[in-house]
Structures are given as structure tokens and as C-alpha cells.
Amino acid sequence: MTAVIVAICAVLLVFLVLAGASVRVLREYERAVIFRLGRLIGPRGPGLIFLIPFVDRMVKVSLRTVTLSIPPQDVITRDNVTARVNAVAYFRVVDPDDSVVKIEDFLAATSQVSQTTLRSVLGKAELDTLLSKREELNDDLQQIIDEQTEPWGIKVSLVEIKDVEIPSTMQRAMARQAEAERERRAKVIAATGELEASKELSEAATKLSSSPGALQLRTLQTLAEVSTERNSTLIFPIPIEILDALRGALPSGKGSNGSS
């Protein structure tokens, strides 16, 4: 009787072990690539899946987006400037079978492809392009890396250049260039303002010279403005036009003697 109980317990234990080895539970973002006696039979999941013990082998693959930090790379730009650039790439597995069968380690392979592509693409660009047109470079990097990883079942959705380090001597040269550019713009703006002011003054002078009365009114207005200043001595030149107007308004000496 005891031997029968022991045998039953042994059978139950073996059954439980086999059941535990044959049942798997996968989350929503997980897939299981099943190999049966070495042959690929396709992905399974999510949910509850069953495996044949000692026959099936499972490789679990995550479908979530992976954030890959690309280590800093020393890049020589097209205009022979040395820069140190790092970036970040976002990718995910879209074909679990290819990510397991066609590549040994898709994470390491994607990292290596990203590093070499970063050096290759940025090496063809000039420093000004690298600093001012990052969006275009990001698009080029994403397309090239995605084309190379597509056979592995990997989809690269985004690549972003994070930081660009340039030598201190180049930073000082760029600062001097920016300062010179600001000075040039300031001089151009000042010259443009003087040109416009001279045109306005020329038009005003032309209008005043064509109307003696307007010139006299302007002179009187200027005298009224200057008289408010607290100056002990004021010398103000009288335009010839005002003197002529006053001379014409006064009676001549001959006319007064003849009348008397």
C-alpha cells in the first residue's frame, strides 16, 4: 500500500513538473518565438501558451520601444573641424521571428550600426550645418539606420542628436565671428537710418525753401523753443529771407522824405 502511494505521488510530481514546464504566460507586449526540434514554428502570445516539454524551446521577445543611447563619437566634419557628437535612437521589434533568426543580438547590432552611421553622415556635413540644421540630419540618420535594420525585423522610429562638443579654440572663433556679425548689422542699421533721415531732411528743406512763409514760421518756432533754455547768451542766425521780408515791410527813406 505504501509503495502505491509513493508511486502515485511520484507520478503527480512528474505531472506537475511537466505542466509547469509546458505552460507559459506572456504579457501584452511580449511574444514567444517557438522552435520545435530546432525548426521555427512562429511567434506565440500574448496570453497563455503551451509548450511540449523537451521538444519546444521558447525565446521571449519584447515589442516595446527601446531607448538606445549612442556613445559619443569623434567626427571630422566636411570643413575639417573635429567634433564629439552623441545621440539617442528609438526603435522597436516589429517582426519577432526575424529579430531572433536573422541576427544574434539585435540590440548590440543596432547600436553598432547607429555609431557607424552617425560618423558617416555627420562627416559629410559642415559644422554650420551640424549646429543649425539638426532636424535634417536627424531625418537622414533615421532613414539610413532604419534601412539597415529592417531585415532584422527592427523599426527605427526616431534618431536625435543630443550634444555637439567642439574645441575651445573653435568656440572662441565662432564667438568672435558672431560678435563681428552683430557689429556689421548694427552699422548697417545705423547707416540705413541716417540715409532715411537725410532723405526726410532733404524733402523738408525743399518744401521750406519753396515757401518763404513756412520758413519764417519754422524760424519763429525754433526761437520759441530755444528761449525756454536757461542760457545767459544766445546767438541765433537770422535767415536772409526774414530780413528781406522785414525790409520790404518797412517804408523806404526816400518815400518818407518826399511825403514830408
pLDDT at residue 63 is higher than 50: yes
CATH superfamily of domain region 66-166: Band 7 domain (3.30.479.30)
> Which of the four pLDDT bands, split at 50, 70 and 90, describes residue 243?
low
83 by Cβ neighbours in 10 Å (0-12 / 13-18 / 19+) ranks as: buried
Segments making up each domain of the chain, as ranges:
12-62, 66-166, 170-215
What does the pLDDT read at residue 250? 57
pLDDT band at 72 (very low <50, low <70, confident <90, very high): very high
pLDDT at 95 over 50: yes
* Alpha-carbon distance values, 29 to 41, 61, 64, 65 (Å): 20, 9, 6, 10
The confidence score (pLDDT) of residue 144 equals: 95
Task: List all residues 6 or more positions away from 60 whose beta carbon is below 8 Å from its beta carbon.
Answer: 26, 30, 31, 32, 33
Higher pLDDT, 212 or 30: 30
253/194: higher pLDDT: 194
Please give the grid coordinates belonging to residue 67.
531607448
What integer best gives the mean pLDDT of the chain? 81
For 103-136, the pLDDT digits (tens) are 999 999 999 999 999 999 998 988 888 888 889 9
Question: Per DSSP, which regions of 102-192 are E strands?
Answer: 154-165
> Global pTM?
0.64
Q: Average the pLDDT over 137-154 and give the result.
A: 94
User: Residue 258: its pLDDT value, please?
Assistant: 45
